[in-house]
Amino acid sequence: MKDKILFEEKQHIGFNRMTMTRNLVLVLFCFIAYYWTENRELNGNVFFYLGCAILLFHILSLFVTHIRIWVTGEMIQLKGVGVARNVIIPVSNIRSVEKQKYSQYQINNPVFNLHREGVLKFYSTGNDAVKILTDDGLVYLIGTQKADELYRLLNEIISKH
């Protein structure tokens, strides 16, 4: 049971509100610029094709996994896209687990292993987060869409250790 995956979540970069908002604004700008261009044959087509390319890029980003979180009986592993090293948090080193809001803002940048103000942040999507304090004094803030399930599971595992 130690090696069995008890919890797994994949967070995709395209579902992040910051990414969606930025891409939507750029696409709208390109299409409005195409509409208002007087000489569409020379300049307007560039805006139209650029808007279509951004829209296609965003659709493809819906399938790109930004963070993969999985929990076994012994550790929590976090793997990011394009990152060679996994972040591993041994369950035996966890002192406490809390469930909280990830941020006071509605739109947040996706981050992987961001060290800010003594907290290591991991986030792609969702409003809630699980805050983990380890025996080493490290604080991990993991943004997730399944915060209740992850919080409950980690408390069960910690109580067994």
Domain-wise residue ranges, the chain: 7-11+67-160, 13-61
Buried-exposed string 86-103: b where 16+ CB fall within 10 A, e elsewhere: ebebebeebeebebeebe
Arch. (CATH architecture) of 7-11+67-160: Roll (2.30)
pTM, full prediction:
0.80
The larger pLDDT score, comparing residue 37 to residue 99, is at 99
Q: What backbone torsions phi and psi does residue 110 show, to the nearest 5 degrees? A: -70, 135
24, 31, 22, 25: which is closest to 50 by C-alpha? Answer: 31
Of the pLDDT bands very low, low, confident and very high (cuts 50, 70, 90), residue 2 is low
How far CA 23 is from CA of 29, 53, 142, in Å, comes to: 10, 11, 25
Side by side, which strands form the sheet with 75-80? 7-12, 65-71, 75-80, 87-90
pLDDT in tens, 31-80: 998 888 877 677 778 889 999 999 999 999 889 888 899 999 899 999 98
Buried-exposed string 7-36: b where 16+ CB fall within 10 A, e elsewhere: bebebbbbbbebbbeebeebbeebbebbee
